[in-house]
Structure 1
């Protein structure tokens, strides 16, 4: 473990006096790697600098939003110009309308969309809307898929395929968790058994189309199609959580790659340009149940915030202008090819999952198809690898359960330098 620099140590000591655990989101605490976090002074392009002056090539990118890299001029200039006219109105503004139009144009399944301020808000609201539309109470989620920290979704697997979920956090009433049924991801038999027994009670399935909060896991062939067909058959809704994958893997996210049409979709991250944002949208007949024209209530003072909307639009337009998704695929393939060659040459047991600019390296000798497989990787090896890379200026997620991100600011030399560090660290473990 590499100790923090002296300024980070000092500030973290102060932070712990006033912020629970010293952080405002748990993964930042470095608990999964057995250390303490550093504090950032500034970031630009593919790099961040901590307050002690150390530089890192960054593969987190604010956990996904910074698809152009840190502090791209197109976004910082946009924020500066828009802020001159006001940073928040609580009144409709032109940027939120243009963002809604863009989302509907880019994602064919979305006919109408409602903006909010976080991915958690988006998934929470989509669940409420699905229950209101179907007039049913139960939802289905999958173990290892994270949809934010609202009570109905912060639920762990029960003891069997037909059991209710259990609260995954203190403060979540058991009665809330009982309305959520948790299944293992990539298990079609469990899904079919559940719907055969209780399909008429289920309002919706919510799923990270490519689960990216327990590493990066891909659906087995036909699995997402099964989710679509089984919900249609039983009158339930299918909700794709594309908070991470939306507008990062292409204009239409996973549903575009897989040619699927969910009933509702949840977005965030990229469409805010680095500012807080969320959105959920889908079929007009479902979305029109929202207040003020329908009985399902949802509101937010900062929803459609002009700075977030303008920054997000600037980012989307820049992606389009630069053929960004093709470039990100090229960078991702370059990184993958080099990493696979290195790991195979070193004889390190591994699985490497990548799609476009999202990736995850598992130190495991088994295929990764659900969270149970993720948990069986060599966690101690990851911890040593993480600290070795950090010491040499490569910042990976401080947890073996997180996805990495490449941005348009990364270059082939950045990736090659990273692979050189990987080789050095692997030789030292």
Structure 2
């Protein structure tokens, strides 16, 4: 992608000034506003491979990857061709279409725990609907989530942890009635004793446990050995539906997601991002006996005008088939390890405390000497140092997530010059701190 042609697009400063007059904070998703790291956001007019082209004609190596979907890099020619072919037939039909059947077949083949699937339009919609389904199936009201795990912005899930393991949450956003929060129990991630206590205190009341099996929304955090297996055991014992939110990790950590890597079978799984190939999408699926409680077969209602949209399905099908053909997971993990090792080596040379959890194509950089295993330890990371590091990297042409508490992503397009240059920039930026 060349920056040699003069841009006809207004620069980022002008665009942001206009946007702030028209949209709250000038953005359509809060983290994009750069409030966590300071400064003003840049605007992007094009993307290709591992790079973004900004409105200011700067080329940036991108480790956000549109927050996960771009596992093949941006604007991949196979995905682009699939969208163009689908576009010839129309943008939306409001009826069943062949693409959604093929997508469902691919999902069921890739993720063995999913026997039936419902397509929707976002990860938020998928998690919200999966929880409603779990409540309808179990005829129970309470749910368990984990502090630091984000599952979209539906009312029941925008709840933050209280001070104790059994504290019922309080709304994490204005506009959510406190009564909604009372049905959500927030526990610390990686804490078996908290799980035991929650189930003991709420016998036959917990409809579901929803978890990011590998956390990606408070930075990247992995479970302790055996933790997910214990979660599967205790939910099965109490007749509670186990929901894996694999919107980020699905098809990225492995072809079958975290559940394939950890050999765990959840009851329901939420998906998104990669299955849309960069277009809006979501899905949830799992056990047939649970899924059959959805309308039109059962009493749990869920619907969507654009669900199974042919353009999103065509893009996602092309992306999933590429994963099946190329099986890039070993290569992606090698890229992730190379980035991790470069950061750790530079931090050691500088004498900086840095923790870099990494698995496959996901990673985080925490400025702390404490291993990060939950929300509380993630918050020990020095966000001010991260903000300085973020801007040093950005000045040198590498774009990390604009928050100290977000996962980073790699794509197959980072292989070669992009990872070489990125490792140099990360090293130089750490030395400059």
Shorter-chain TM-score: which interval? over 0.9
Task: Report the counterpart of residue 23 of structure 2 in structure 1.
Answer: 19
Whether the 8 Å CA contact 2:255–2:323 is kept in 1: the answer is no
Query: In structure 2, what is the equivalent of residue 200 of structure 1?
Result: 204
Match among 80, 90, 93 for residue 89 of structure 1: 93
Q: Please tell me whether the aligned partners of residues 346 and 431 of structure 2 are also in contact (alpha carbons under 8 angstroms).
A: no
In structure 2, distance between residues paired with 1:199 and 1:410: 49
CA contact (8 A) 1:331 1:412 kept: no
2-structure distance, mates of 1:378, 1:156:
21
Gaps spanning 5+ residues in structure 2: where? Answer: 1-8
1:215 to 219, 222, 228: 219
Contact 1:116-1:277 within 8 A present in 2 as well: yes
- Match for residue 106 of structure 1? 110
What CA deviation, in whole Å up to 9, does each residue of 1:384-426 have, x standing for no partner? 1000010010000010011111101112332121121122222
Partner residue of 1:180? 184
Relative to the length of structure 2, the TM-score reads 0.96
Distance in 1, Cα, partners of 2:179 & 2:185: 12
Give the aligned partner of residue 30 of structure 1: 34
Classify 1:162/1:423 alpha carbon distance in 2 versus 1 (closer, same or farther; 3 Å): closer
Local SS of the residue matching 2:232: helix
1:6 Cα deviation from its structure 2 partner: 7.8
Shift of 1:327: 2.0
**What's the TM-score once normalised by structure 1's chain length?**
0.97
Contact 2:343–2:427 (8 Å) recurs in 1: no
Paired positions, count: 425
RMSD value, Cα: 1.2
2:300 to 289, 296, 304: 296
Q: 2:152 maps to which residue?
A: 148
Residues 342 and 427, structure 2, Cα contact 8 Å, conserved in 1 = no
Counterpart position of 1:356: 360
Q: Which is worse superposed, 331-340 or 191-200?
A: 331-340
Any residues of structure 2 matched to 1:167-316 within 5 Å, and which? Answer: 167-316=171-320
The alpha-carbon deviation at position 237 of structure 1 amounts to: 0.6
Does the aligned pair in 2 maintain the 1:334–1:412 contact within 8 Å? Answer: no
2-structure distance, mates of 1:405, 1:243: 13
Contact 2:222 2:373 (C-alpha < 8 Å) held by counterparts: yes
Contact residue 223 and residue 373 of structure 2 kept, 8 A = yes
Alignment gaps of 5+ in structure 1: none
Per-residue deviation, 1:41: 1.2
* CA distance in structure 1 between the aligned counterparts of 2:283 and 2:353, rounded to whole angstroms: 39
Deviations 1:18-38 (A, max 9, x none): 101000000000000011101
Equivalent of 1:129 in 122, 130, 133: 133
Measured in 1, the distance between the counterparts of 2:334 and 2:166 equals: 43
Task: Kindly provide the CA deviation profile for residues 184-233 of structure 1, in whole angstroms up to 9, marking residues without a partner as x.
Answer: 11111111011112131000000000010000111111111111111111
From 411, 415, 418, the counterpart of 2:419: 415
